Amino acid sequence: MSAFRHETTLKDGTPVLIRMYQPDDISEVQLGLKKLSDKSLQLRFMTSMGKIPDNQLKKLKRIDHEHHIAICAFDISQDPMNGIGIARYVRVEKEPQLAEAAITVLDEYQNRGLGTELLFQLGKIGLEKGIHYLRAHVLSTNIPILTIAERAGARISHYEGSVMQIDLPVEEALELLSRGRT
């Protein structure tokens, strides 16, 4: 699966390469995460600390390409190409058809279809690995991801406090998302 590579074009014409995360991508991910605005950090990591929680970076060191998958997106119009997004899932041990998923896109690349494309590609990979449902917990104020999830056929419910739970049936989502992909 480490041979996965997909090239696409965002809504604004930006050429993008999406490929499997590799261990030496950690420095590119760290650079990208430092570029996230406080608002994006709050929406993605539910923290207002102004930085990524250390445990999030540690998780990227445990990618096994079977139960813990990550894919990275790169703007290939840049030389060298810049990392612009990452999507990952971790299979739930007691429910092997379910995986916890997360997507992060740099602020300047948001609202161009990259989050949807990352979700689509992650879903395809997951389905090949026996993942039938993706789950995410997001703040109720994270309108962009809630909109993508709704468009993809997710069931969205209140989890706790201001956190919502998204349960996405992968096969249905792939069908719905394929209609609106760039």
Average pLDDT score over the chain = 88
Query: CA–CA separation, 92 vs 8, rounded Å?
Result: 30
* Cβ atoms of 168 and 133 closer than 8 Å: yes
3-state secondary structure (DSSP) of residue 2: coil
Assess whether pLDDT exceeds 50 at residue 27. yes
The SS3 assignment for 16 reads strand
pLDDT of residue 182: 46
Lowest pLDDT segment from 3-12, 31-40, 94-103, 120-129: 31-40
Mean pLDDT calculated for residue range 20-34: 81
DSSP label at 23?
G
Question: Which residues on adjacent β-strands are paired with residue 167?
Answer: 135, 155
Distance, first Cα to last Cα, the chain: 24
Q: Is the pLDDT of residue 51 over 70?
A: no
105-109, 123-127, 145-149, 177-181: least confident range? 177-181
**CA within 13 Å, CB half, 19:** 14
1 pLDDT more than 50 = no
Of all residues in the chain, what percent carry a pLDDT higher than 70? 91
What domains sit in the chain, N to C, each tagged with a CATH number? Answer: 5-180 (3.40.630.30)
The span from the CA of 80 to the CA of 63, in Å, is 24
Task: For 46-66, give the DSSP string.
Answer: S--SSS--HHHHHHGGG--SS
- The pLDDT of 159-170, averaged and rounded, is 96
Residue bearing the bigger pLDDT, 43 or 75: 75
Specify the DSSP element, H or E, that contains 83. Answer: strand 82-92
Q: For residues 111 and 169, what is the distance between their CA atoms, to the nearest angstrom? A: 23
**Per-residue pLDDT, 179:** 82
